[in-house]
Structure 1
Amino acid sequence: MLAATLAAMTLAVPVGAARAAVTDAFYDRAFMLAAHQKCDLFEPQLIAALDAAALQARNAALRAGTPAADLSAAAARARSRASRTSCDDSDLSRVRTRVEAGFSGWSRAARMSFPGDRSAWRGDRYESKAIGWRLVQDSATGGSPVRFGLAGTGPKATTPVAVVSFVGRPRPYSARLVMRDRDQAPRVWLTGGGLPPESVRRSFFAAAAQAAEPSLLPEGARQGETWTFSTEAAEALAQLDPRESFVIQFLFRDDSVAEARFEAGDFAAGRAFLAMGAI
């Protein structure tokens, strides 16, 4: 796992004995990112990997029960320490060397799984002529499989889409992605399956629908529809707490709604993994 790759790459002074290991890991990654901003330490591909590592560490800490305020404070301390550290500091130079060595092999990873509490995102950095999943999570509504994620010909040219193969139902006339509205409900919502009441939800309607490419269909499906969402929807999803849920709702002309539930999980970390570029 990406988070484990940097586990031993810390400076001589830890956050403190009272901090949980996951918070320490987040602090270390936040410090290295802040030090890079000051001293231009790493190549862009490695910075994308550090971004993913920091997001994974933050999400792991949240899942372990660390308050978000504690993580914000840890990030602030990391930035403060980086601002006081000289770019020619010997400890910083040693850590830089270990980080570069640790990622020399990892940066060639083409695929990675980002497990959550209930589901996982799967990342794929291959590039091809055909559209494929670059980051995807599986779900279902009733007996019909649903996939949601980022699809494209390569990791840096993706579009948020949902693909559904309905069993014994007509084609829906619309689809929407529903999640917590962070403006209306700033605090993370973990009750009720991780989705807040309708009054504080935000919806993104699909902009287009078409027959799904065979490469995007769930295993065993022969046909399905692709519903395309905006990049704004993906940005909003990346801001959710990893423990939260979001849903894709499919709307039918008889006023019925079919719903597939997903876990926010490490969606943001998966996007950072794709930012490393194609293999």
Structure 2
Amino acid sequence: MLGRALTFAVLTSLAAPAALADSTGVQRTWLERIAISAADKSCNLFSEGERLALQSGIYQAQGELLRANKTPAEMQQLEAEVSAHARSLGCAHPSVVEVAATIRSSYRQFAKTSYLEYPTPRSTWAASRSGHDKWAVAQTDAKTNVVFGLRRVKDDFKLSVSMPAKGAQPQTVQLVMRDVDKMPEAWLGSIAGATKELSPPPRSIS
């Protein structure tokens, strides 16, 4: 099954993140990234920047699979199988060499890109490397124009919320966070699984 995974053009989406796809396509992309990441751990294929971009791509695909109700147990089993197979190919295997070269080329293009958009089911995350942009990573609510994300403050980033200056001035803000000791897995908006509606985690796990 995974012998073919390393022959695909892995991570060409580094240069331009792909739009949301069906879960089958997302799973294939995730497995490809897992495979070459496992090969990198054995063969030291990439620079730190390339490796960080690869890991970010893994997290992105992993999040989409979780939102599509793929269970962590299923994903862990697949990850173990793919990683073992990738390591068994060896560092000089033509597929490993070819895919590693593709990733390096993609990363060079990615590194030149100063602005990226990451689509999600409800909105889009905008990411900017430019020091002239006030927001490093942000998402804007289409209905209210409220902006949430990481804002550049001198030489640091701060989690921030920006609201239009109209109506009553807010006096308090409530930030609900999941207690990882009570619920280790990510909260996806519903006890029953992923839904189209956003909802905070219940107090019992917050």
TM-score, L = length of structure 1: 0.56
Q: Distance in 2 between matches of 1:169 and 1:153?
A: 26
Q: Does 1:49 align with 2:53?
A: yes
Amino acid at match of 1:177: L
Q: How many angstroms apart in 1 are the aligned matches of 2:176 and 2:139?
A: 16
Q: Indicate if the aligned counterparts of 1:136 and 1:150 stay in contact, CA closer than 8 A.
A: yes
Report the CA distance between 1:44 and its aligned residue: 2.1
Name which of 187, 196, 204 aligns with 1:199: 204
CA distance in 1, matches of 2:157, 2:113: 19
Kindly provide the amino acid, as one letter, of the partner of residue 138 in structure 1: T
Match of 2:137 among 88, 113, 135: 135
Aligned positions of 1:50-129 closer than 5 A:
50-128=54-132
3-state SS in 1 of match to 2:149 = strand
The superposition leaves residues 193-222 of structure 1 with CA deviations (integer Å, 9 ceiling, x where unpaired) of 332222322xxxxxxxxxxxxxxxxxxxxx
The alignment's C-alpha RMSD in Å is 3.0
Q: Percent identity?
A: 24
The answer as to 2:150 corresponding to 1:150 is: yes
Deviations 1:93-118 (A, max 9, x none): 12212222333323311111111111
Supply the distance in 1 between the matched residues of 2:7 and 2:152 (Cα, whole angstroms): 32
Q: Which residue of 1 aligns with 2:42?
A: 38
Shift of 1:133: 0.1
Structure 2 letter corresponding to 1:107: A
Give matches, 1:250-261, under 5 Å.
none
Does structure 2 conserve the Cα–Cα contact (< 8 Å) formed by 1:146 and 1:165?
yes
Paired position in structure 2 for 1:257: none
Alpha-carbon distance between aligned partners in 2 of 1:189 and 1:105, rounded to the nearest angstrom: 33
Relative contact order (alpha carbons < 8 A, sep ≥ 6): 1 or 2 greater? 1
Partner SS, residue 125 of structure 2: strand
CA distance in 2, matches of 1:189, 1:88: 41
The amino acid of 2:162's aligned partner reads: V
C-alpha distance in structure 1 between counterparts of 2:32 and 2:201, whole Å: 33
Between the aligned partners of 1:41 and 1:198, the Cα distance in structure 2 is 45
What is the SS of the residue equivalent to 2:177?
Answer: strand
| Alignment partners' CA distance in 1, 2:167 and 2:57 | 43
Return the alpha-carbon distance in structure 1 between the equivalents of residues 169 and 26 of structure 2: 47
What letter is aligned with 2:189? L
TM-score for the superposition, normalised by structure 2: 0.73
Structure 1 range deviating more: 160-169 or 108-117: 160-169
Q: Which residue of 2 aligns with 1:232?
A: none
1:166 Cα offset (Å):
4.6
